[in-house]
Structure 1
Amino acid sequence: MKLKVTLLSVFTFAGLTAQNIQNNPGSNHGNKFEQLGTILPTPNIYRTASGAPGHGYWQNRADYNISAYLDEDKRNLKGSETITYYNNSPDELDYIWLQLDENQQSNVKNADFPFSSTLPKTSNDQQLKATNLPAKDNGYGVNLEKVTDVSGTPLRYTVNKTMMRIDLPKVLKKGEKLVFKIDWNYNIPNRMKMGGRGGYENFPEDGNDLYTITQWYPRMCVYSDFHGWQNHQFTGRGEFALVFGNFKVSMNVPADHIVGGTGECKNYEQVLSSEQLARYRKAQNSDEPVEIVTLDEAKKAEKNHSKQRKTWTFEANDVRDFAWTSSRKFVWDGMNVVIPENNNKVMAMSFYGKEAYGLYRKFSTKAIAHTIKTYSEFTIPYPYPVAQSIEAANGMEYPMICFNFGRTEKDGTYSEGTKNGMIGVIIHEVGHNFFPMIINSDERQWSWMDEGLNTFTEYLTEEKWDNKFPSKRGPAWTIVDYMKLPKDQLEPIMSNSENIIQFGPNAYSKPATGLNILRETIMGRELFDKAYKTYAKRWAFKHPEPADFFRTMEDASGEDLDWFWRGWFYGTDPVDIAIDKVSIATPDLEAIPKANEITYKVDKPLQNDFEDISKIKNKEDKNITFYVDKDKDLQDFYYRYDRGQEKVDNNKDYILNRVETTTTLDAKDKEKFKDITAYQIDFVNKGGLVMPIILEFTFEDGSKLYDKSSAQIWRQNEQKVSKTYYFNKNLKSVQLDPMRETADIDTSNNFWSNDGTNFQASKFQVFKQKQGEAVRGGANGKVNPMQAAGKK
């Protein structure tokens, strides 16, 4: 275990130190192109050097059977669960860890990650109150009623803020399972006032609540080969690390509530009216959204608060979590979606109040359908039977269900920004079904592995929704303002979730932009898409780490991308490549080759001037007989020459017998080259981050040419490089990065114009190459000592 912890520590803090690891720190080359090497964890039987799961890969599992009771009057949720936990690890466990995420809403049970505070400039009646020292319990957080084994015997447990450890009465060995029970309750917070991901929203106009019940049950922590127990506290930001399992959940709610949840409802026949059930069955075969609960029915339900109860039953297999929603305000529509890659039939459904009807009825369910189809193209085929979007004035994701915003004005109108924002957030949150609900990364540690990869795939999906869609994250130019920030306001992408200041740009935008640059500019779509799909396929329903992603992208594409991961993910340098200078030269077509007479002296013996200690000791060793001394046939002219036994005049001057390789140009060649002009463009890397050099050449006749040099052009000098081009028409201007595809933070130094005053043309000589006889023996036309001595 100590070895595992040590390796993890190196990787966990890589974001703070790894970008400074340089093999040649005093040099102007090599450092940015060094392999990541020991920055990445050592491959093993669980995770291979190719980025794929190893032959010894394992992961644990947890199945849940949960009953919930929603008390609308008290705004309290009561639950009882039976967890079956499977130890598939090679380790023996004497305790297990569970997450109590609702404790983050408590002011005395929370994770205690405070923020700095200062005097306010303004305040309001909700904010201004006397500081209670010590803090008084605000009444929120999980209240544990019972923790027992399957027979009802109490289990010993300890609660540490948002985490609970259960001490097992006997060791849980490899291949064994543990069945235990927990009863609990908690007061549901008003998430519109207190914040958080789950809770209720109250609508004063009709006196109803809309409940989003999320991270609501005590749930198992991940125990893994790379971390052991992931029991880092939940602070509200770093999301979740969870195990896969099967869920059976029943929710007892007011009879006039409509419930949506992870998985499939198993008793629609009991909870829906005959008309609603008939509409649901129609929706299952419709390629257009069908209202299952109509707007009129939802408005009527808002007015009559039933005191009766109904129980809804859901089941979901191979999911890592379960969330649900409940309200009498819901309009509910749905349609059938077929995923071409696996022929999976999916019910795409939306739940929303009348406040969102003008937007959600038109766009939501179709946006779900578009998302799961497009993500299936770029990753893996969507495997689940349901995908749902709930309008709840926020954005958060869970398996098969997510919560999004999107309400109209009271008159039913809406702005374009609201429409696009709603479509974008639906695509994003539905897309989270893939990252991290299926490709199940550790969000508590690496936010970018779900948010960044998902935001990138969201961008691809938005682009396929509407070519004019104003995506805010993904295009390279959108990250420039963030990359311009001072270094003390930036962290590497490879940083822990809780330590990031600019969380949105760091965890969402910069990773998404980097992947888009890889796809469009560095790798190309074909190579990138194959590698990206390979990563998704390899790690579907598993627990990937950053190294698994980095290695797979290289393994499946044949591209060495360590320089990119080092710069973009481990560093904070921006891209700022500048055109420093353009030098112009024209050919001298009348140049005559010079035939200068060259003299030289015959080479002296090619022996070391200094006899090293090994030669001296070998010569003195009476047990050593040298091979050339034993075999007289090996004692040639140079054996004797080296020992002074052959005499050569080393002071005599000889004339080099040269073979002329060039001659003057003929008339045909002069005509061919008369319009050629050479342009040397000098580039300076002012930002520090290497990138391809992309150029647009514009000529005086209005024509254009384009060229791209890969980032490898910087490998021998990371600070400055030059490229020379030969054109047979006059160059008017050069534009660096014309499509703004590298996130260059300063485009003012990306342009050069040939105005005739900012250069002085030079000349370069041009000769015609002759076909000459090759010189034998590497003598280059010189007399060797054997020739000078007249020996053979």
Structure 2
Amino acid sequence: MKKSILIGILAVLTAFFIPAALSQTVEQLQDKFRQLSDEVLPTPNVYRAASGAPGHKYWQQQADYKIDVTLDDQKQRLIGLAKIKYYNNSPDSLRYLWVQLDQNRYAHDSNAQKSEFSSHAPKAGYSVLRRKMHEKTYVGGYDIAAVTDSGGADLKYIINDTMMRIDLAAPLRPGQKFNFIVEWSYNILDAKIIRARGGKEYFKEDDNYIYEIAQWFPRMAAYSDYDGWTNKQFLGNGEFTLEFGDYDVSITVPADHVVSATGTLQNPADVLTKLQQQRLKEAETAKTPVMIITTKEAAAKLNSRAKTTRTWRFKADNIRDFAFASSRKFLWDAQGYYQPENGKTVMAMSFYPEEGNPLWEKYSTQAIIHTLEVYNRYALTYPYAVAQSVNGPVGGMEYPMITFNGPRPTKDKKTDKKTYSDRTKYGLITVIIHEIGHIYFPMIVNSDERQWTWTWMDEGINTFLQGLAEEEWEKDYPTRRAEPYQIVNYMKSKKQVPIMTNSESILQFGNNAYGKPAIALRILRESIMGRELFDFAFREYAQRWKFKRPTPADFFRTMEDASGIDLDWFWRGWFYTTDNVDISLDNIRHFKVNTKDPEIEEAFKRGKHNEKGITQDRLADKTLEKRTDRFPELRDFYNENDKFTVTNKQRNSYTDLLKGLEDWQKEMLNEKSNIYLMDFSNKGGLVMPIFLQIIYEDGSIEDIRLNAEIWRKNSKKVTRMLITEKRVKSVTVDPYWETADVNMDNNHFPRRIETSRFELIKRKKSRDMMKEFDTKLTSDKEVKKSEE
């Protein structure tokens, strides 16, 4: 008997506790607030501290370059020799070195060419087919003439697509350095046909070129504490992971060319006239841009070709890359920008052909200076002597101290008048802000652009700062990726991957690498952390990691360390998932305190009961005489009293209850406030703060902001109590569109009827082939006349 009872009790307990345990396990798996360090972020170590700062044994490699390069304007070819000094600052011995050969991406047999896919639709743009046809004849990739040590002895090497491994005769031990020389050449591609980060643009009208030269020399691959050699092949999207170093570069070009390059010009007397040198000096303290090379001076060189060459020499210290531009078409303007933070002047300079005006002379250099002003305030003080914007074939690309930016006006074929749309105007200002901003991120804060997941660390962070700079340019600036609502359609789509995804595997690159992380940071600043805490933490990140190589974990940890806010739930939801924000206000229930007083409570119940009896009362035949009306003797106590009549026993119980209560408890029973229970559900999966706007019946409005931690016990459903003396008329979730909520229809209670548009469709007429056949044929002469 006892055994059977025990078995029965165990069965009941098992039935009760096992589902509870399973439920708890599932809930733990759904815990949106569990710490990233437990399962996602790498364990802190001596190289990278738990605070997000560089560890006390942090190290990074260094690569110095002395390069001589010649630009052959007749063959559109680049020939160079680089002397590279590589410093092994790591604790590891290296048996070989990896060098990036990014131009090999354009070789016919490259991995990039062999992995390119097409849309499933049997159609393509004109430019796509043009590019594919051009690639069949363009011979791309490096010709490596020699790889030798500093003494001229050949080094053993092997080229694997866009990477070259140099095998060392003896291991390069910690603290040692290695000198070697690479000689190379390659054909400069047409960047107006093949979409690239550098190349040439041909101007048929005057038979001249603009060259924007980037990824042009063999560059040391990065070797880091977190990844070893970063030798992932370059397929096109994943950009570059590089080491800092000092550069001494001599660029030989036709004598009538003007060169813009990374670094400071070392020999102005050799390449500029005395008047141009004087103008450059005056520009240092000018209040507006000064023309160093004027339209007239540039035009004078277009029809006559120099038969000699000149060498422009540039030096730059502590940079991670080098780029340059060259053309006889360039106009050049400059203005000094004094930085009160360090007492130094930065020369903001723009290089552009006459085709760029009137847009470039008006906005380019001003946009550079504006970017320096804003980014210096939010991130770090610009450390270099120059910041440049160059107009040419590349739409937008950044390198240390120099950027390539594409927008220019359109010339009317009939009148030769140049005009530009507002899209072109703001496109130019935007791209200059963005690309100059990239000199800060990642050219100074040296995030890994090639490593999987990390593209957002330069594009997303920079786009966030770009939005702040655009807002300071003018009121109602047409910013594209700053407002939360601008990312809603992407976050609703199924065609997306988490932000923390390899750049070569991203489905919508612009939204994933630029838009979503930028807007996530905007939401953090404006709606979650607040500007003061966010700005301090963000600047701390920039200061900690300038001229160093941060990882996502370093950014996440620094933002929390410097602000004192646990943001793991935010990083997890926004960066590691494709969940979206969809907080639904499902219901609002209204309550008044139960006074326990039977006189009040029974009357309340009677009123509720009578409300429910309205339908029955309407259906009753009121003409029928009731039997109790004809025979009153049938009436008794229950005809005089309903079930809500208060009895003496109830009154006594209430009196006894009051005797057992303290005064403050009695006050609670007499509380007259309205109590509302608001039921929310998380339909999108991404936990976020709940921002409410309450409109009361008296017309007053109250904003209430609830932290994301309200979801910590249940990430799917939550109820919030509101106690108020006023009666609520309506409640709206996210009234100011702060959270990128993808469905605003369920954000209102009671539900709103939103006005939209009902489309009328006109039936398309059937084709009249006879009428088409009789249509007057346009002559070749008329076609030609319309084109002139």
Q: Tell me whether the two structures share a fold, i.e. TM-score over 0.5.
A: yes
- 1:593 Cα shift? 11
2:561 equivalent in structure 1: 555
The letter of the residue matching 2:108 is N
Whether 2:321 is the aligned partner of 1:315: answer no
Match of 1:509 in 2: 515
Distance 1:361 1:673 in 2: 71
The 1-side partners of 2:504 and 2:234 are apart by 10
The number of equivalent residue pairs is 666
Written as runs of structure 1 = structure 2, the 5 A alignment for 1:51-90 is: 51-90=52-91
User: Secondary structure of the equivalent of 1:184?
Assistant: strand
Structure 1: gaps of 5 or more residues: 1-21, 595-655, 756-792
Tell me how far apart the structure 1 counterparts of residues 663 and 457 of structure 2 sit (CA, whole Å): 62
CA distance in 2, matches of 1:569, 1:119: 31
Contact 1:100 1:218 in 2 (8 A): yes
1:497 to 1:677, Cα distance in 2 relative to 1, 3 A? same
Corresponding position of 2:222: 222
Q: Which range moved further: 118-127 or 49-58? A: 118-127
Q: How does 1:464-483 map to 2 (within 5 A)?
A: 464-483=472-491
Equivalent residue number for residue 122 of structure 2: 120
SS at match of 1:432: helix
2:259 maps to 1:262: no
Deviation beyond 6 Å, 4+ runs, structure 1: 128-132, 656-659, 663-666
1:591-740 correspondence to structure 2 within 5 Å: 591=597, 660-662=660-662, 674=672, 676-740=673-737
* Corresponding residue for residue 397 of structure 1: 398
Could you tell me how far 1:171 is from its partner in structure 2?
A: 1.4
Instruction: Give 1:589 shift.
Output: 5.9
Partner of 1:419: 425
Measure the CA separation in 1 of the matches of 2:671 and 2:422.
58
Q: Which runs of 5+ in 2 are unaligned?
A: 1-21, 412-416, 601-655, 753-788
Shift of 1:122: 6.0
- Conserved? CA contact 1:356–1:391, under 8 Å: yes
User: What CA deviation, in whole Å up to 9, does each residue of 1:194-238 have, x standing for no partner?
Assistant: 121111011112211110000100010011111110011111110
Q: Which deviates further from its counterpart, 343-352 or 27-36?
A: 27-36
Residues 407-444 of structure 1, C-alpha deviations (whole Å, 9 max, x = no match): 11222321111111111111000000111001001100
Displacement of 1:128 in angstroms is: 8.1
Instruction: Say whether the 8 Å CA contact 1:29–1:716 is kept in structure 2.
Output: no
Q: Which moved more, 1:694-703 or 1:110-119?
A: 110-119
Which residue of structure 1 lines up, in the alignment, with residue 437 of structure 2? 431
Alignment-mate amino acid for residue 179 of structure 1: N
Q: Does structure 2 conserve the Cα–Cα contact (< 8 Å) formed by 1:29 and 1:718?
A: no
Shift of 1:345: 1.1
State whether structure 2 residue 556 is matched by structure 1 residue 539: no
Q: Which protein has the bigger helix share? A: 2
Taking the aligned partners of 1:299 and 1:131, their CA distance within structure 2 comes to 34
Preserved contact between residue 734 and residue 751 of structure 1 (Cα < 8 Å): yes
Q: Which amino acid aligns with 1:723?
A: R
Match of 2:493 in 1: 485
| Residue of structure 2 in register with 1:212 after alignment | 212
Matches within 5 A, 1:232-271: 232-271=232-271
| Contact 2:745-2:751 within 8 A present in 1 as well | no
Distance 2:482 2:143 in 1: 43
Query: Which range moved further: 114-123 or 541-550?
Result: 114-123
Kept after mapping to 2: 8 A contact 1:29/1:717: no
Give per-residue Cα distances to partners, 1:732-775, cap 9 Å, x unaligned: 221110111101000011112499xxxxxxxxxxxxxxxxxxxx
1:114-166 deviations in whole A, cap 9, x for unaligned?
1333573367698389999xx98842110011111111111111000000000
Identity %: 49
User: Does the residue aligned with 1:153 lie in a helix, a strand or coil?
Assistant: coil
Alignment partners' CA distance in 2, 1:93 and 1:737: 55
CA offsets, 1:539-573, max 9 Å, x none? 11011111111111111111111111111100110
Query: How far apart in 2 are the matches of 1:332 and 1:234?
Result: 34
Aligned to 1:376: 376
CA–CA distance in structure 2, aligned partners of residues 278 and 518 of structure 1: 48
Aligned amino acid, residue 77 of structure 2: N
Q: Say whether residues 1:304 and 2:297 are aligned partners.
A: no
Would the aligned equivalents of 1:64 and 1:247 in 2 still touch at CA under 8 Å?
yes
Aligned residue type for 1:679: Y
**RMSD between superposed Cα atoms in Å:** 2.6
Compared CA separation, residues 70 and 657, structure 1 to 2 (3 A): closer
Deviations 1:30-78 (A, max 9, x none): 6111111131111111111111111111111000000110001100000
Read off the aligned partner of 1:75 and give its amino acid letter. Q
User: How far does residue 169 in structure 1 lie from its aligned partner after superposition?
Assistant: 1.4
The separation in 2 between residues aligned to 1:444 and 1:702, in whole angstroms, is: 56
Deviation at 1:182, TM superposition (A): 0.8
Whole-angstrom distance in 2 between the partners of 1:553 and 1:460:
19
**Residue number in structure 1 paired with 2:331:** 331
The secondary structure found in structure 1 opposite 2:489 is helix
- Amino acid in structure 1 at the alignment position of 2:426: N
Structure 2 counterpart of 1:121, one-letter code: K
Partner of 1:597: none
Deviation, structure 1 residue 463: 1.5
* CA positional deviation for 1:279: 0.9
2:48 corresponding residue in structure 1: 47
Aligned AA for 1:432? Answer: H
Q: C-alpha distance in 2, partners of 1:337/1:727?
A: 56
8 Å Cα contact 2:556/2:571 also seen in 1: yes
* Cα displacement (A) at 1:170: 1.5
1:636-675 Cα distance to aligned partner (Å, 9 max, x none): xxxxxxxxxxxxxxxxxxxx99972256999x999x955x
Are 2:694 and 2:702, in contact at CA under 8 Å, matched by a contact in 1? yes
> TM-score scaled to structure 2, two decimals?
0.81
**Partner Cα separation in structure 2 for residue 299 and residue 405 of structure 1:** 21
Amino acid at match of 2:704: D
Equivalent in the alignment of 1:460: 468
Q: Aligned in 2, Cα 1:566/1:669: closer, same or farther, shift over 3 Å? A: closer
Q: Check whether the contact 1:592–1:664 (CA below 8 A) recurs between aligned residues.
A: no
SS of equivalent residue, structure 2 residue 193: helix
Shift of 1:295: 1.6
Distance change >3 Å, CA 111–CA 593, structure 1 → 2: same
Report Cα offsets for 1:682-725 as digits up to 9, x if no partner.
Answer: 11100000000001112233321101000000001111111121
Taking the aligned partners of 1:243 and 1:475, their CA distance within structure 2 comes to 35
1:148 counterpart SS class = strand
> TM-score, with normalisation over the residues of structure 1?
0.80
Contact 1:692 1:709 in 2 (8 A): yes
In the alignment, is residue 581 of structure 1 matched against residue 581 of structure 2?
A: no
Q: For 1:217 and 1:564, how far apart are their aligned partners in 2? A: 41
**What secondary structure, in the 3-state scheme, does the structure 1 residue paired with 2:563 have?**
coil
User: 1:468, CA displacement in angstroms?
Assistant: 1.3
Tell me what 2:603 maps to.
none
Q: Secondary structure at the match of 2:419?
A: coil
Measured in 1, the distance between the counterparts of 2:59 and 2:704 equals: 48
Q: Does structure 1 retain, via aligned residues, the 8 Å contact 2:265–2:312? A: yes
The residue aligned with 1:99 is 100
1:155 aligns to what? 155
Deviations 1:313-362, CA, capped at 9 Å, x for gaps: 10011000000000111111110112222222100011111111111111
Residue type of the partner of 1:55?
H
Q: CA deviation at 1:405?
A: 2.0
1:451 pairs with 2:459: yes
Distance 1:228 1:517, change over 3 A: same
Deviation at 1:471, TM superposition (A): 1.0
Letter in 1 for 2:248: K
SS for the counterpart of 2:129 is coil
Structure 2 contact 130–193 (Cα < 8 Å) conserved: no
C-alpha deviation, 1:303, in angstroms: 2.4
Are the structure 2 counterparts of residues 113 and 512 from structure 1 closer, same or farther at C-alpha, using a change threshold of 3 Å?
farther
Per the TM alignment, residue 588 of structure 1 is displaced from its structure 2 partner at its CA by 5.5
Counterpart CA distance in 2 for 1:444 and 1:187 is 25
